Amino acid sequence: MKALRFYAPEDVRLEDVPEPECGPDEVKLKVKACSTCGTDVKIFYNGHQNITPPATMGHEIAGEVVEVGANVSGWTPGDRAQVIAAVPCGECYECKKGWMAVCQNQTSVGYQYDGGFADYIIIPRQVLRVDGLNRIPDNVGYDEASAAEPFACAINAQELLGIEEGDTVVVFGAGPIGCMHIRIARGVHRCGPVYLVDVNADRLKMSADAVQPEETIDGSQVDVVDRVMELTGGRGADVIITATAANITQEQAIAMAARNGRISFFGGLPKTNPTITCDSNVVHYRQLHIHGANGSAPEHNKRALEYISTGQVPVKDLITEHIPLDRVLDAFSIVKAGEAIKVTVVP
């Protein structure tokens, strides 16, 4: 079968590998859709400390069950399934507290376990043990289901933000995850006006056409903090989500937050430059709440599938490109150039 194997930074090969065999504690899927995101591009160029080459990439996976190990119950060939990417251990202090997104022994599909840019994938025992293989509702397509993983990360982040009806929300980053954040804030939390910020006018327009924020703000043209202050009558934004790796957006988020404002530092910063300047007195006197966000728990993946199924948070229109596995490296270029909202690879 074909698989996209990571050997070293910028040495990623689509090659023929033996079809994997299903062990007694495992499930084998025929991959039907594996979506791409910025993380794939990051791995392509920089590798990752948790990847021991060669390894098959791809972590946003949906497929059809084709084989079930003798010791596994609950699955039958023909079942449609979505796979978690972040795999908690289920046993550490954090997991026992129910904080599976911050498991200290977290492993990942597409890192320690071979991923979904391939014709077939083995779902390891570690995934099944934490209930990380999810049934796809009948009315949800494989491509949509593959987007449940990034969607789950956004659900995890927003759970911490206590978004209330009518809250003003600012989202930095007009990528797929920024779009999903807007849809969740509206569809699940019934927020008020949403302002979408980016420094790339084309991407801003493409995403705004899909999710229709009340206003887009091009950070390369205007002072983002001033504009949000104007739009909110000087009060500031109630909720700010930085779905980008740009340090300045975190500083701008603090500067534009309303009293009792809640901020999610959703996107991580570059490892080589992870610090920002924070006026601590602004945080203190305005009583700001600043949250981190680290991936998702299995339960968030289930909820994502449910929101897609009920129509509360649609994702179908965010998947703007379907690309065959043979052209998976083109998919990476499209993601890198920001020319599509979400690109799904279909083996």
Residue 269 binds Zn ion (CB under 5 A): no
- Sites for Zn ion among residues 65-94 (CB under 5 A): 88-89, 92
Q: Looking at residue 293, what DSSP letter applies? A: -
CB closer to Zn ion, 104 vs 312: 104
Query: 138: which residues sit within 8 A by CB, 6+ positions away?
Result: none
Site string for Zn ion, 89-128 (x = CB under 5 A): x--x--x-------x-x-----------------------
Q: Using the minimum distance from each CB to Zn ion, give the nearer residue, 87 or 313.
A: 87
Shortest Cβ 318–Zn ion spacing (Å)? 13
Contact between 323 and Zn ion (CB under 5 A)? Answer: no
Name the helix (H) or strand (E) containing 319.
strand 319-324
Residues 184-243, interacting with Zn ion (CB under 5 A): none
Stretch of 39-47, 205-213, 225-233, 279-287 contacting Zn ion, by CB under 5 A: 39-47
Four-point Cα dihedral 30, 33, 38, 39, nearest 10: -20
Q: Supply the minimum distance, in Å, between the C-beta of residue 296 and Zn ion.
A: 10
> Which span sits near Zn ion by CB under 5 A: 32-40, 42-50, 72-80, 110-118?
32-40
Closest by Cα among 121, 124, 85 to 103: 85
Nearer residue to Zn ion within complex by CB, 43 or 204: 43
- How many residues form the binding site for Zn ion (CB under 5 A)? 8
Q: Which position has the token pair 């911490």?
A: 160
Nearer to Zn ion among residue 89 and residue 283 (C-beta): 89
Q: Which amino acid is at 86?
A: A
Beta bridge partners of 8: 11
Which CB sits closer to Zn ion, 60 or 198? 60
Length of the chain: 347
Contacts with 168 (C-beta within 8 Å, 6 or more apart), sequence order: 191, 192, 193, 194, 195, 231, 232, 237, 238, 239, 258
Residue 132 CB, nearest approach to Zn ion (Å): 13
Q: Is 37 in the site for Zn ion (CB under 5 A)?
A: yes
Q: Which of 22, 27, 29, 39 binds Zn ion (CB under 5 A)?
A: 39
Please state the closest distance from residue 130 (CB atom) to Zn ion, in A: 9
Question: Closest CB to Zn ion among 142 and 195?
Answer: 142
Helix (H, G, I), strand (E, B) or coil at 82: strand
In the complex, the smallest distance separating the C-beta of residue 109 from Zn ion, rounded to whole angstroms, is 10
CB of residue 94 to Zn ion, shortest distance in Å? 5
Strands of the chain, DSSP E = 2-8, 11-16, 27-35, 55-56, 60-68, 80-83, 86-87, 107-108, 120-123, 133-135, 169-172, 194-198, 215-218, 237-242, 257-264, 289-291, 319-324, 342-346
Cβ pair 4, 12 in contact under 8 A: yes
Query: What is the closest distance, in whole angstroms, from the C-beta atom of residue 293 to Zn ion in the complex?
Result: 13
Q: Which stretches of the chain bind Zn ion, using CB under 5 A?
A: 37, 39, 88-89, 92, 95, 103, 105
